[in-house]
Chain A
Amino acid sequence: MNQKRMEEILAQNLELSSTVEDRINETYRQIRVQAMKRNANAARRVPAVDLAKTGGRKKVFKTVALFAATLTLFGCMAAALEEPLNQFWMSCMGVNQEIVGEMIVTDPEIVCLTDDMPLTIQDIYVDGSNLVFSAAAGEEIDYTLYAMDHSTVNGVDCLLYFYQTKVEEGIAYYQGEIKLSQEVEGDLLDITIRLYEKEEIREIRFQTNAEGLQATKWIPDQTFELDYAKIEVTGISAAPSELQMTFDYSFDDYEKAKEFEWQLLYKLENDKGEVLDTMYGSAGYASDLTENGDKWTCRVYLSITGFDYTSEYVKVTPYTPECDSEGRAIPDTGTVHEEKAFTVSLVGEDN
């Protein structure tokens, strides 16, 4: 045996024993159960937000942001215990909650293209970024349904998060959340999801109205030349359910780039002066700091719920939070880097 052969042997795939395979499958089952319990606990912690009683939009904004802080610890995964398209998911919508509520269609017109459809769609919400539905499983389904995390909408591959929200009088209720992209277009949405059923995969397909897609602003790319970096902002969309964009940073100076790496969080200000913290949403490195010729680059993607999607702009201000002893960022602390702020126009292509 030479070294090459040794490397081949170490790199080759092994046949997992049935003992290990069975245990891994059992572990996956435990993980799914844990996730469901976690979702249910998260939903119980969140009281419904009554817009009429909060006395002012800013107060609602702060209250919802505070709820969202708790919720995002659980990944902003919704779990309805009481409501159709549950309060948990709704409370993540922040100041857009009212419009989102108006856009939810109860008992929607659904064209079912699957024989023996195991689910009855009860409520549906659609904008250009998200398609969310609640559904009841048929009485004959006496086991928990799981879905593959890829669905197809109008032929476009879209991520799906599908989970059980409650079981009442023997009926299991589910919520599905599909991430849409600009490629999904048309008057009708043709949706295929794939359910794991025993050891088989069962495809279900249905169609619904696509009117909600219009509620999203798709915004042209923008570039900012600042003292410390050049920032290209792409993939900008503002929908009632989510604000999304990607920042491609390019630095001339390695020291500036390294310093920036620790300023992952942002404060996002809308045209009414209301500020939302990305600690309550998601901002993460899509790619680490990389050397590209004489530049240092990194990509940050931003996705946040609760930002006023009607705002004409978002002012993006990076900040470095203080952290607790376990390394968790502490809200409303740290240094705000006002000099590194930039303002992204949210005026859509058709405006």
Chain B
Amino acid sequence: MKKIVERARRGDPEAFISLMEANKQMLYKVAKGYLKQEDDIADAIQETMLAAFEHIRELKKAAYFRTWLTRILINKCMDILRRQQIVSPTENVPEQVYFNTEQSNLEFTQLLDLLPEESRMIFLLHYGERFSSREIAEILDMNENTVKTRLNRGRKLLAHKLQMA
């Protein structure tokens, strides 16, 4: 993996594309955590890949690649959400529309909706993508202890919700 990142840093497009292929599930799931429409998700992923290709030489260590890529994606998702608020400031974010009816996707999106909002992304990065608390803190630009607290609180809230259901 590190050698591929190094080759991508040296400008090899095939190495970069193989990194994107290896990470596209992660990109899709994280973008789905923020955005509801598939077109918006596609925009966020595309903008992320192009920005990452443009700036990969600035990546200091290959080991940080996934953290760095995820952070770019989250910034792109936030940009899209901000743009949508500027265009329609009085409208709420549209209701969840399940364009993709695959069973696995349905369970995933339903679970995201069930998760407490403050810890939704933390859960996804921790359980879905196996990022450590420290990496999540870097990705979401928050204190590591906050990550741990929200993870813990989220687990309790989720258990309570499931019990109620």
How distant is A348 from chain B, measured CB to nearest CB, in Å?
25
* B108 and A14 within 8 A (CB): yes
Q: Is A115 an interface residue (CB 8 A)?
A: no
A10 touches B123 (CB 8 A): yes
Which residue in chain B gives the minimum CB-CB distance to A13?
B25
* Range class of the A interface residue count: 35 or more
Cβ–Cβ < 8 Å partners of A32 in chain B? 13, 17
- Known contacts A14-B105, A15-B100; is A20 also within 8 Å of B38 by CB? yes
Asked if A16 and B58 sit within 8 Å, CB to CB, the answer is no
A10-B124, A14-B102, A23-B46 known; A285 vs B61 contact (CB < 8 Å): yes
A77→B104 contact, CB < 8 A: no
Main secondary structure of the interface of A (DSSP, over half): mixed
- Bound together, the chains give a CA A149 to CA B62 distance in angstroms of 19
B41-54 Cβ-contact flags toward A at 8 Å (1 or 0): 11101100110010
List residues 132-148 of chain B with CB under 8 A from any CB of chain A: none
Q: Which residues of A contact B61 (CB under 8 A)?
A: 285, 288
1/0 contact string of A284-302 vs chain B (CB within 8 Å)? 1111100000000000000
Complex: chain B residue closest to A299, CB-CB: B2
Is B158 a contact of A161 with CB atoms below 8 Å?
Answer: no
Contact between A161 and B39, CB atoms less than 8 A apart: no
Complex interface residues of chain A between 247 and 299 (CB less than 8 A to chain B): 282, 284-288
| Docked pose: A10 CA to B62 CA in angstroms | 26
Q: Which of B1-56 contact A (CB under 8 A)?
A: 2-3, 6-7, 9-18, 20, 24-25, 28-29, 32, 38-39, 41-43, 45-46, 49-50, 53
User: Once the chains bind, are A149 and B45 in contact (CB under 8 Å)?
Assistant: no
Shortest C-beta distance, A156 to chain B (Å), equals 16
List the A side residues contacting B50 at CB < 8 Å.
27, 30-31
- Complex contacts, A193 vs chain B, CB 8 Å: none
- Secondary structure of the B side of the interface? helix
Query: What is the bound-complex CA distance between A285 and B162, given in angstroms?
Result: 46
A284 CB contact (under 8 Å) in B20, B25, B62: B62
> Which residues from 48 to 82 on chain B have a C-beta closer than 8 Å to any C-beta of chain A?
49-50, 53, 57-58, 60-63
Q: State whether A161 and B14 are in contact (beta carbons under 8 Å apart), knowing that A27-B46, A285-B61, A288-B61 are contacts in the complex.
A: yes
Interface residue from A74, A282, A288 paired with B63 (Cβ < 8 Å): A288
- Compute how far the CA of A3 lies from the CA of B10 in the bound complex, rounded to whole angstroms: 42
Bound-state Cα–Cα, A1 to B108, Å: 13
A24/B24 contact (C-beta < 8 A), A12-B104, A15-B105 known: yes
Q: Which B98-121 residues have C-beta < 8 A from chain A?
A: 99-100, 102, 104-105, 107-108, 111
Known A3-B155, A288-B61: A149·B53 in contact at CB below 8 Å: no
Q: Does A339 contact B (CB under 8 A)?
A: no
Do the beta carbons of B11 and A149 come within 8 Å of each other?
no
Measured between alpha carbons, how far is A27 from B78 in the docked complex, in Å?
20
Chain B interface size, under 10 / 10 to 19 / 20 to 34 / 35 or more:
35 or more
Q: Which residue of A lies closest to B162 (CB)?
A: A1
Task: Let me know if B38 and A19 touch, CB within 8 A.
Answer: yes
Specify which chain A residues have a CB less than 8 angstroms from the CB of B49 in the assembled complex: 24, 27, 31
Evaluate whether A34 and B12 lie within 8 angstroms (CB atoms) in the complex, with A7-B127, A17-B100 already known: no
**How close is B38's CB to chain A, nearest CB, in angstroms?**
4
Residues of A within 8 A of B18 (CB): 149
Contacts A149-B14, A282-B10, A284-B6 given: A9-B107 contact, CB under 8 Å?
A: yes
Q: Are A10 and B127 in contact (CB under 8 A)?
A: yes
For residue B100, which residues in chain A have a CB less than 8 angstroms away from its CB? 14-15, 17
Please indicate the chain A residues that have their CB under 8 angstroms from the CB of B159 in the complex: 3
The smallest C-beta distance from A349 to any residue of chain B, in angstroms, reads 26
Complex Cα spacing A38 to B56, Å: 14
In angstroms, Cα B128 to Cα A342, docked, is: 45
| Most B-side CB within 10 Å, residue of A20, A23, A76, A148 | A20
Q: List 25 A-B contacts (CB under 8 A).
A: A7-B127, A9-B108, A11-B127, A14-B104, A20-B42, A22-B42, A23-B42, A23-B46, A24-B46, A26-B46, A27-B50, A31-B49, A31-B50, A32-B17, A34-B53, A35-B11, A39-B11, A75-B9, A75-B12, A147-B14, A149-B18, A161-B14, A284-B2, A285-B62, A288-B61
Contacts A6-B111, A38-B11, A149-B18 known; list 8 others, CB within 8 Å: A6-B158, A13-B25, A14-B28, A14-B29, A14-B108, A15-B105, A24-B49, A282-B6
The 3 closest A-B pairs by CB, nearest first: A75-B11, A75-B10, A10-B128
